[in-house]
C-alpha cells in the first residue's frame, strides 16, 4: 500500500521540496553542506546526533526518540527511496513516532502493524523494512531498526543514512495522522516460513512476539502485550527468566525466551539457561550441513570453537556484534552465523537474526538433551568489566609476550590463550566500559585469570 494516500504526505510537499533530503534536491549543494556540518561536528562546534547508536536509532522517548526526529528519519530515507515494510512492537508512543516517519517518507509502504523485527526483515527481500522497537531496552525507550534485503543495515549504510538525517529538518510541529491499513500478508508470509513449532514453553516477554502468540498455542507465557514489561525486563538472561526456568522443570519441556523485538532467543532446559556459545555448538552439530562455512563472534568460548572445527565445520571468528556475523555471512556465503548473546542466522531462512525461527527449529528437542549436551563442555567462563579506557596496543604486546603471536587475536579488542586460561578484553560498543571474559578449566583458574587481567589493565589505563 502506498502510504502517501493514507498519511497526507502531499500536504507536506512544500516542506519536503524545500528540504535537501528530498530526492529532487540539488545533491551537489547537499554534499557541500554535509562536509561543512561534519567539519563543525569534528571541531565540537555543534553536537552530533545522539538518536543514532552503533547499529540503530534508539533513546528515551521525548529526549532522543521524538516525533521530530522520526520525521527527520523519514526525510532521510527518501534519499534511498525503496519499497518499505513498516511495523512496530507494543511500546508506548510507537504509533505517533511511526506516523511522523510516514509524514515525511514518500516511498511505497506496506504497514504491518505490530510484528517482531524478524517478521518485518523477512518481508524486505525486495527493499527495506523499518521496525519501531527499542529491542532489549527497558520501558520508556523507543527506537528504530532498519533492514535491507532480509538483513540488518551494515555500519556504512547506517552512517550514510545518518548523514542525510543530520541535514534534515523537521517542521515546528508534527501532526499525528491515521496509520495505513494493515497488510496482513506480511504476517502470513513470515508464519509460512517458520518450521513446525512443537510442544515447548515460550516466554514472549510481553514484547513483539505477542503478535504471533497464536503460533505458540497454549504453551506461551507472558503472551499479553505489555509496554511496561511488568513481568520481567525485555532482556532475556539468567536473572529475568525465573518463571520460565521453573516451568521447564514442572512441565518437563524445553523453554525459549525472546528479547523485546524477538530477534534474539535464549533457551532453558530443566531450569538451566543454556550458554549461547554452547547452543551455537548444538545448532551447528544438529542443523548445519557438514563442512559448511559458519561465523561466530569472538566472545564464543575457545572450547566451543575447537568443537566446531573438530566437527568438520569451517568455523571463523568475527568481531562481537550480530551485525558483524551477518555481514560476514552475507559476503562470504556462509550457512550459519551466531552471536553468543542469542542472535542466530540461517542462510536457508534469511541472513538476519531470528529468535522465533531458532525457537521453532529447536522446539522439537527432547527435554534434557541440551543440558546433557552442555556437560561435554568443561570450561568455566567468568565475566568482569572496568570503567576506564585501556591501551589495547600495550595489552596486545603483554599477551603476545605471554602466549606468542599465534595465540593472540585483535579483530575486536584482544583475545589470547595463555594456557591456564584464555581471555577476551574488548570495549563495549554501547556503554562506556571495557568488558572482560575469562575461560579456564576450573573456577579457581578462571578467578585467577580475572585477577591477573584486572591487574594488567590497571597498568594500561589511558
pTM to 2 decimals? 0.85
Cross-strand partners of 143: 58
SS3 416: strand
Provide the grid cell at 56. Answer: 540503530
Using the Cα atoms of residue 223, residue 228, residue 230 and residue 233 in order, give the sign of their dihedral. positive
Q: What is the pLDDT of residue 411?
A: 93
Three-state secondary structure call for residue 402: helix
Find the Cα–Cα–Cα–Cα dihedral 105, 108, 110, 115, rounded to 10°: -40
Tell me the residue ranges of DSSP E strands in 180-334. 201-203, 220-221, 255-258, 265-269, 272-273, 293-297, 314-318
C-alpha pair distances (Å), 177 with each of 70, 98, 390: 14, 10, 49
Parse the chain into domains and list their residue ranges: 4-186, 194-374, 380-458
Q: Tell the burial category of 178 from Cβ atoms under 10 Å away from its Cβ (0-12, 13-18, 19+).
A: exposed
Topology of the domain comprising 194-374: Alpha-D-Glucose-1,6-Bisphosphate; Chain A, domain 3 (3.40.120)
* Grid coordinates belonging to 315: 568455523
Measuring CA to CA, which residue among 244, 254, 252, 196 is closest to residue 223? Answer: 244
Yes or no: domain 380-458 corresponds to CATH 3.30.2130.10: no
Q: What is the pLDDT along the chain (462 residues), one digit of tens a residue?
A: 333 333 333 333 322 333 333 333 334 444 444 444 444 433 333 344 589 998 899 999 999 999 999 999 999 999 987 899 999 999 999 999 999 999 999 999 999 999 999 999 999 999 999 999 999 999 999 999 999 999 999 999 999 999 999 999 999 888 778 899 999 999 999 999 999 999 999 999 999 999 999 999 888 999 999 999 999 999 998 899 999 999 999 999 999 999 999 999 999 999 999 999 999 999 999 999 999 999 999 989 989 999 999 999 999 999 989 999 999 999 999 999 999 999 999 999 999 999 999 999 999 999 999 999 999 999 998 999 999 999 999 999 999 999 999 889 999 999 998 989 999 999 987 788 999 999 999 999 999 999 999 999 999 998
Per the structure block, which three cell numbers stand in for 44? 565540537
**CATH fold of the domain at 4-186:** Alpha-D-Glucose-1,6-Bisphosphate; Chain A, domain 3 (3.40.120)
Bridge partners of 426, per DSSP, are 435
Question: What one-character DSSP code corresponds to residue 410?
Answer: -
DSSP H or E segment with residue 37: helix 27-42
Three-state secondary structure call for residue 95: helix
Question: Are both 4-186 and 194-374 of the same fold?
Answer: yes
Q: Length of the chain, please?
A: 462
- Expressed in angstroms, the distance from the first to the final Cα of the chain is 54
- The partner residues of 436 in beta bridges, in order of sequence, read 384, 425
Q: How much is the pLDDT for 219?
A: 84
Pick the closest to residue 201 from 267, 128, 262, 118 (CA basis): 267
Name the grid cell of 439. Answer: 575461560
Amino acid at each position: 500500500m502506498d502510504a502517501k494516500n493514507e498519511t497526507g504526505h502531499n500536504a507536506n510537499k512544500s516542506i519536503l521540496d524545500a528540504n535537501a533530503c528530498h530526492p529532487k534536491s540539488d545533491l551537489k549543494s547537499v554534499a557541500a553542506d554535509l562536509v561543512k556540518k561534519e567539519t563543525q561536528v569534528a571541531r565540537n562546534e555543534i553536537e552530533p546526533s545522539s538518536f543514532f547508536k552503533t547499529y540503530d536509532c534508539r533513546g528515551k522517548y521525548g529526549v532522543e526518540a521524538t516525533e521530530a526526529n522520526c520525521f527527520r528519519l523519514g526525510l532521510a530515507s527518501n534519499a534511498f527511496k525503496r519499497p518499505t515494510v513498516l511495523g512496530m512492537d507494543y511500546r508506548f508512543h510507537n504509533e505517533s513516532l511511526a506516523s511522523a516517519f510516514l509524514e515525511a517518507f514518500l516511498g511505497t509502504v506496506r504497514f504491518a502493524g505490530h510484528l517482531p523485527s524478524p517478521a518485518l526483515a523477512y518481508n524486505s527481500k525486495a527493499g527495506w523494512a523499518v521496525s519501531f522497537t527499542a529491542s532489549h531496552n527497558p520501558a520508556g525507550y523507543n527506537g528504530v531498526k532498519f533492514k535491507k534485503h532480509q538483513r540488518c543495515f551494515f555500519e556504512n549504510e547506517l552512517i550514510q543514512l545518518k548523514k542525510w538525517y543530520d541535514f534534515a529538518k523537521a517542521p515546528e510541529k508534527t501532526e499525528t495522522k491515521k496509520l495505513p491499513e494493515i497488510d496482513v500478508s506480511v504476517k502470513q508470509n513470515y508464519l509460512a516460513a517458520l518450521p513446525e513449532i512443537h510442544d515447548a514453553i515460550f516466554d514472549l516477554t510481553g514484547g513483539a512476539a505477542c503478535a504471533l502468540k497464536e503460533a505458540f498455542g497454549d504453551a506461551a507465557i507472558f503472551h499479553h502485550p505489555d509496554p511496561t514489561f511488568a513481568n520481567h525486563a525485555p532482556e532475556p538472561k539468567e536473572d529475568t527468566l525465573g518463571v520460565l526456568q521453573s516451568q521447564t522443570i514442572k512441565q518437563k519441556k524445553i523453554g525459549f525466551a525472546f528479547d523485546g523485538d524477538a530477534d534474539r532467543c535464549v533457551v532453558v532446559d530443566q531450569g538451566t539457561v543454556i550458554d549461547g556459545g554452547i547452543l551455537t555448538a548444538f545448532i551447528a552439530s544438529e542443523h548445519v550441513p557438514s563442512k559448511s562455512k559458519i561465523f561466530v563472534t569472538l566472545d564464543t568460548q575457545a572450547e566451543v570453537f575447537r568443537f566446531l572445527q573438530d566437527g568438520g565445520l569451517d568455523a571463523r571468528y568475527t568481531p562481537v556484534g550480530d551485525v558483524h556475523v551477518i555481514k560476514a555471512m552475507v559476503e562470504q556465503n556462509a550457512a550459519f552465523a551466531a552471536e553468543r548473546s542469542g542472535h542466530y542466522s540461517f542462510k536457508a531462512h534469511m541472513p538476519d537474526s531470528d529468535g522465533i525461527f531458532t525457537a521453532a527449529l529447536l522446539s522439537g528437542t527432547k527435554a534434557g538433551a541440551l543440558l546433557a549436551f552442555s556437560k561435554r563442555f568443561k570450561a568455566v567462563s567468568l565475566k568482569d568489566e572496568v570503567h576506564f579506557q585501556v591501551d589495547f596496543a600495550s595489552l596486545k604486546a603483554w599477551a603476545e609476550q605471554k602466549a606468542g603471536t599465534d595465540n593472540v587475536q585483535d579483530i575486536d579488542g584482544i583475545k589470547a590463550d595463555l594456557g591456564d586460561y584464555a581471555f577476551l578484553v574488548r570495549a563495549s560498543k554501547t556503554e562506556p566500559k571495557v568488558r572482560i571474559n575469562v575461560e579456564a578449566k576450573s573456577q579457581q583458574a578462571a578467578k585467577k585469570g580475572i585477577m591477573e587481567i584486572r591487574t594488567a589493565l590497571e597498568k594500561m589505563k589511558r
